[in-house]
Amino acid sequence: MKHRVVVIGAGFAGLQVVLGLKGAGCAITLIDRRNHHLFQPLLYQVATTLLATSDIAWPIRALMRERKDVTTLLAAVEGIDRAAREVVLRNGERVPYDTLVVATGARHAYFGKDQWEADAPGLKTLEDATTIRRRLLLAFERAELTGDPAERQALLTFAVIGAGPTGVELVGIIAELAHRILPAEFRRIDTRQARILLIEAGPRILPAFSDRLSAYATRALKRRGVEVMTGAPVTECSDSGIVLDGRFIPARTVIWAAGVQASRAHDWLGAEADRAGRVVVTPELTLPGDPAIFVLGDTAHVETGGRAVPGVAPAAKQQGKHAARTIRARLAGKPPPGAFRYRDMGNLATIGRNAAVIEFGRFKMTGWFAWWVWGIAHIYFLIGTRSRLFVALSWLWAFLSRQNSARLITQREAGHR
């Protein structure tokens, strides 16, 4: 009988495991509760009207079309029966495994303030992105409609909490919308009067980057009309605004980009987790005491060289490859590759039209050239010629026409609130 591999989660890590097991002769079951693999690094561009949802998401089973060794199941996992070596699905089906890979990702976290989620949505799924897109666009629409100046200013205040790459990239495009794209389209308001706030509890933005690039990003954002507020922890958050340093700022649109919490895989596994809910794994990326179970990506806490591996796409992919190599070695009776080592591929973030920061060890780059390198790198990382072509064309079109093409308010009729 073939060796049965069950992979839960078709994100960067899970997908890489399946790709790495091509031709290994396993019977693979790939389980996800979504029907698509999502390219999360560009999700902020869906949230900000640059890209369409289908540009950065692919049906998982279409990706596995040629892989007759892979059965894709769209299903929610209820638990893992480690004694019986079975994954239990919500419909009651039990999927037996010889090797299990858990790579179920993370959600945004509110550090104990879960009640903030309704007023400050985060950005992890396509629905999150279309929700944020709707709120952004509705704020301008309602500002055009209201007769009350205070209400108008609150509607035109956009606060992004958290200044990692996602936060920076969000405010960059919001500023472009408010200052360059929308002004010609409104008759009663001047969208250039919008306040766009980037709020960071720590001392500087883009903390994963060097001081120099962080300072460049701050200058570039300010030039684009963004107010950068560092050392400013948010202490309150409601549908009318936020409290910062004891000061209330009326803001109708608040976006959360400040922190993540791993999925509840540690519950399923009955495993030890760190504060962010990530399962603490061995250097081989397996569950302590159960080498048949791998935990990867944002779901796992692993340290290499004394530092925790960051929750970024390249790290998840590398872990997926490593797990696949380990499984193949075991099946072939060869020595497995051993401890996972993270290769830092550097950090990239865009700030706006013709501005980005790239850091790779001592190598640093800013400005328009970094922006083009960022774009080309991301097109390379997309899956398939079609997505590459369509995203490249969308970007080129937006760049030349100064118009974003996916400015749709959907899922709720605007007049109804």
Active-site residue list = 169
Reported residue count of the chain is: 417
Cβ 143 to a copy of itself shortest distance, Å: 11
User: Which CB atom, from 137 or from 358, has the smaller least distance to a copy of itself?
Assistant: 137
Give me the amino acid identity at 298: D
Q: Are 44 and 123 in contact (CB under 8 A)?
A: yes
H-helix segments, 224-282: 265-269
Q: How many CA atoms lie within 13 A of 159 on its CB side?
A: 29
Which tokens sit at 275?
Answer: 């504060």
User: Which CB atom, from 276 or from 409, has the smaller least distance to a copy of itself?
Assistant: 409
237-242's contacts with Cβ under 8 Å and 24+ in sequence apart are 237/113, 237/116, 237/119, 237/120, 237/161, 238/119, 239/118, 239/119, 240/154, 241/154, 241/157, 241/159, 242/120, 242/159, 242/161, 242/199
Cβ 137 to a copy of itself shortest distance, Å: 6
Which tokens sit at 44?
Answer: 């902020």
Query: Which residues have C-beta within 8 Å of that of residue 390, sequence separation ≥ 6?
Result: 55
Point out which residues pair with 51 in neighbouring strands.
none
Cα angle 312, 118, 218; round to 5: 50
H-helix segments, 60-104: 60-63
Query: Which residues have C-beta within 8 Å of that of residue 18, sequence separation ≥ 6?
Result: 7, 10, 28, 30, 64, 67, 70, 324
CA distance 88 to 80: 6
Q: Are 56 and 42 in contact (CB under 8 A)?
A: yes
User: Which CB atom, from 43 or from 351, has the smaller least distance to a copy of itself?
Assistant: 43
- Residue ranges that bind a copy of itself, judged by CB under 8 A: 33-36, 52-55, 57, 59, 61-62, 64-66, 68, 70-77, 89-91, 93, 126-127, 130, 137-138, 141, 144-147, 184-188, 386, 389-390, 393, 397, 401, 403, 405-411, 413-416
User: Which CB atom, from 185 or from 211, has the smaller least distance to a copy of itself?
Assistant: 185
User: Which CB atom, from 35 or from 238, has the smaller least distance to a copy of itself?
Assistant: 35
Which tokens sit at 110?
Answer: 């509110």
Cβ 416 to a copy of itself shortest distance, Å: 7
User: Which CB atom, from 52 or from 331, has the smaller least distance to a copy of itself?
Assistant: 52
User: Which CB atom, from 118 or from 339, has the smaller least distance to a copy of itself?
Assistant: 118
Cβ 55 to a copy of itself shortest distance, Å: 7
Cβ 399 to a copy of itself shortest distance, Å: 12
Q: Are 106 and 260 in contact (CB under 8 A)?
A: yes
Cβ 161 to a copy of itself shortest distance, Å: 25
